[in-house]
Structure 1
Amino acid sequence: MSTTPYQRLSLHGHRLAGAGGLRAEVRAFVAEEIAAGRWSPRCDNWLIGWDPAFSERLAARGWAGMTIPAEYGGQEAGALARFVVTEELLAAGAPVAAHWIADRQTAPQLLGFGTEGQKRRFLPEIAAGRTYFALGMSEPDSGSDLASVRTRAERTDGGWRVTGRKIWTSGAHRAHYLTALVRTTLRDEATGRHDGLSQLILDLADPGIEVRPIRLLNGEAHFAEVVIEDVFVPDAMVLGEIGQGWRQINAELAYERSGPERVLSTAPLLLAHLDEIAARGGTADPVGLGLALARLSALRGLTASVAVELTGGHAPDVAAALAKDLGTRFEGDVVDVVRRSSPAGRPEDANSAETERLLRQAVLQQPGFTLRGGTTEILRGVVTRGMGLR
């Protein structure tokens, strides 16, 4: 089997060089999918590529729920094996959005903090690629300052009454459940701004929840506003401990911020452009392109090292914040590198057309890269505090 430019990039130093067999399996599967016309590669497809049938096909091969223990329907393969599979899927621009958040983030959160009942209810369905979760973190007027959330949960018989709003909630208009960060103690009653927060699992089919898709300039809707009006959440759907939401959410963010999706959103564009250069010979910006490939290699090493830490049961929040900051800025820079590297008057062939198609997609998605998952300013604050510099 021939290799793509991505597979030819060195993996030395990542402790992943021995994963060639698994990589080959994923590459063969991807090639079969594309040849059958089931989907076309897209930039940022881990966010915009919502394809439930594809998620179930992945799950049937054991490539969803890879970190979930076998007793809950998972593969128990570990974070490194999952890293290899997701890296290959992202590089191929595969439509993984439907199961992505549940597999990446909700499953580890349930394993770390969920009740036995919650694990038995949700984890097998996540591993099967059939149940989708959204993350209820950001709120209007709160930005990336999660400690300022105002969605309120008040105690009632057998559970909690929740009222509030969440915004920029990825995939909420298509997901089944929302893990929401809520305030169970008023801030003036708590001892600190990070106290009094809890996590609840909300059923998005509840009639008290209105999900409003947010249309982008291109007419697509990948984010939503979630309006919650006096929704009852039973005690059985409290995730973790009441009042421990801040500690739990910080453990969760290590999974959200550190994965290869924070580096590879524009990888399909970069790789298509490399194929274009190989076909015609030469580039208008060899230095810029060379630096981009060097950065990609280094960032793959960084994200792989975080996967190693997660495998060891650690929550490397500082390394995760650093990976997200450096990775998302790189993703945006790829767009500019490809623009500079593509000379005017190039031949109109299939390789050039593919680069142009992916470039248009990447330009539309580029503004969100450094915002989602924590802004650059927030991330640098996390790194600075973690290094004892502030």
Structure 2
Amino acid sequence: MFDKTYRQRLEADLARWEADGVVAPAAAAAIRNALPPRTAGINIAVVVGIVGGLLIAAAFLAFVAAHWTEIARLARFAILLAGMVIAGGLGAWFAARQRTILADLCASIGAIIFGAGIALVGQMYHLGDDFAGGMLLWSVGAFAAALLTGSRGALAVGLVAASIWTCMRITDASDVLHLPYVLVWLIAAALAFAWNSRVAAHLVALALLPWWIATSLRFEFEGTQPSFVLASGAALLFGAGLAIAAAPSPRALRLGSVLSIHGAFSLAIAAFLEVTTVDDLVRFREGSLAGQPLWAIVCGNAGVILALASAAITRRAGELLAAAAIALVLLAAPVWPASMAGESWLAYAALLAAMLCLVVSGMLDDVRPRIVAGWLGMAGVIAGITWAVKGSLLRRSAFLAVAGVAAVAFATALNRMLPRAGR
């Protein structure tokens, strides 16, 4: 939960409790004093300063690029170094005055100038035509800046450069898994954990998606179903996030909760893709094989096991249902090969049940993003079933009616099982 939203809700609750006589004024004051000081927000002056800094950085790069051929090589190199030194010096000056947002911006600009310097120096001295290697070097420099300054912006620059690097390497060698990116991602995840930053956790979670997407779209693996590979990645992200959040550490709770949120949305998207890609709305492959890569199967199973382990530690029924949702999405892909002449009602039922489990899981654990992900996935799966190209629309309507009756029966059973306060 964001700090500002939490404090506003807490302040409203304390005021109401004081008015009702539930909490004494002294106790309410003690609760307020126990809270850590609020972090500085982004006001209008900071926003204008950020825009101004970005404009100055863009003007600097445009000026250097416009006069690049007219400037001596040594002077070019000196200008690039001066840009990074000035950005770092301004960042240190802002940091000393507790202007953390502007200091972060300066570190980010320095990382961007460093990347521009790599490109311009490589062009100037006619270095090797390894663009992916240049992106890796840029990523290493941005990560070093993030490690030294704690800049979330520099971390974002490093992750973007690393994502471009891994996508290019996967394209160049599509028959080999590009595992070095996993090591880079783990380093970024360790930084997010050490910083205890929600922004960094979101960046790290998003940075995992390009690798999975690029890996899943390697068409050279005949029989590989991209939606299943994506579902395996979503399962691992979701399950690992739940397991990390179950650890007895506030840092682990923050990082794990963010990873699990992105995993839930990724799982919903994967369920939608399974319907649309397997049922001929979008044709990803022509082969009739249903076999999937062993590493993807291992990742998917690991996601289920981690979610079950988290449920065993936290004793939360919602996480148990989350594990069921992961397992159902993973089971739907192999039982429904793309070349099947008919329709697989079992796959339809599994995906609908998975999204229902995701919604109920979020409700039981009071995790709103998980509820939203489940509803979006449910809408996508129903739309995919309804508007699929092949098959009888009458049979689909009958199936959806049966599924609706089953959902009502399930709701009735839950209403009787759950206590009145939890309904």
TM-score, reference length from structure 2: 0.28
Q: Which protein is bigger by CA-based radius of gyration?
A: 2
Relative contact order higher in (CA < 8 Å, ≥ 6 apart): 1
TM-score, reference length from structure 1: 0.30
Structure number having the greater strand percentage: 1
